Amino acid sequence: MATRYAPRKLGLDDLVKVLADEHAAMKAGLRRAEAAAKAGDFDGVSRALKELDPVFRQHIADEEATVLGFLIGALGVKGAESEILVFRQHRPIYQLMQKVGELASRSAAELSSSQSELEALFEEHTGSEERLVFPKALRLHAGELTRG
């Protein structure tokens, strides 16, 4: 991830909405990549993943700097341990996106396997963020949870 992305200047409530919307957009991009792969359009797979790249990188910058930064500031590292584990999935997801993009030009069998792995990990990750991390951050931000 060569280019550094600065976190967007949004309040936590607005940012969480944007991040949730981006989850849906990124899932749609992964579905486009999957449809292209099934159609044998390996250039289409690469294009779909390249379109996701800047969205995903900005998304990571926002989640880690703003959401996770807020949780660690409020709860400490120990108190935000489960959220840190969720955010540690960013790197493997990004690496899988790159691998799938590379395999699109080489191996249909490996592409299918890696793409399935990417989609499963991404689904697990976004589900954890939407069910656990984002609601916790919003409740804490609203003062509904006790700070550490």
Is 27 part of a structural domain of the chain?
yes
Is 71 part of a structural domain of the chain?
yes
Is 9 part of a structural domain of the chain?
no
Q: pLDDT-derived band of residue 29, with 50, 70 and 90 as boundaries?
A: very high
Q: Which domain holds residue 23?
A: 14-141
Is 72 part of a structural domain of the chain?
yes
> What predicted TM-score, i.e. pTM, was given to this entire model?
0.84
pLDDT digits (tens, 9 = 90+) for 97-146: 888 878 776 666 677 778 888 889 999 999 999 999 999 999 999 987 66
Q: What is the CATH number of the domain that holds 40?
A: 1.20.120.520
pLDDT digits (tens, 9 = 90+) for 51-63: 999 999 999 999 9
Is 4 part of a structural domain of the chain?
no
Distance CA 105, CA 102 (A): 6
